[in-house]
Copies of this chain bind each other. A is one copy, B any other.
Amino acid sequence: MSILIKNAENMGPVHIEGNRIASIGSVVEADTVIDAKNKAVLPGFVNTHTHAAMSLMRSYADDMELHDWLQNRIWPLEKNIKEEYVYWGTKLACLEMIKTGTTCYNDMYFMPGAAAKAAKETGMRAFLGAVLFDFNDSSMKDNLRKSVSEQVKDVESVKSERVKPIIAPHALYTVSAESLSYCAEYSRKHGLGVHFHLSETRKEVDDCVKEHGKRPVHYLDDIGFWGNSVVAAHCVYLDDSEINALAKRGVSASLNPTSNMKLASGTAPYPALTKARMNVCLGTDGCASNNCLDMIEAMKILSLKQKLANGPTAAPAQEMMKVATANGAKALRLDAGRVAEGSLADLILIDMKRPELIPNHDLTSNLVYSANGYCVDTTIIDGSIVMQNRVVEGEEEILEKAQEAADAWTTQ
Contact = CB atoms under 8 A, between A and B. Distances in A.
A177 interface: no
A86 interface: no
B358 A399 contact: yes
A287 interface: yes
B313 A369 contact: no
Interface stretch (A12-20, A189-197, A204-212, A299-307): A299-307
Interface in A246-302: 258, 260-264, 266-267, 287, 290-292, 294, 297, 301
A266 B311 CA distance: 10
A10 to B, nearest CB: 14
Contacts of A403: 358-360
A59 B406 contact: no
A69 B307 CA distance: 15
Contact of A370 (B59, B308, B398): B59
Contacts of A260: 308
A58 B370 contact: yes
Contacts of A66: 312
Contact of A92 (B290, B294, B358): B358
Size category of the binding interface on chain A: 35 or more
A362 interface: yes
A79 interface: no
B261 A96 contact: no
Contacts of A353: 396, 399
A307 B370 contact: no
A75 interface: no
Contacts of A258: 304
Contacts of A92: 355, 358
Given A262-B303, A359-B402, 4 more contacts: A60-B359, A262-B307, A291-B369, A374-B374
Interface of A: 55-60, 62-66, 69, 92, 95-96, 99, 258, 260-264, 266-267, 287, 290-292, 294, 297, 301, 303-305, 307-308, 310-314, 316-317, 353-356, 358-363, 365-366, 369-372, 374, 395-396, 398-399, 402-403, 406-407, 410
Q: Across the A-B interface, give the 4 residue pairs with the lowest CB-CB distance, nearest first.
A: A359-B406, A261-B304, A63-B316, A96-B355
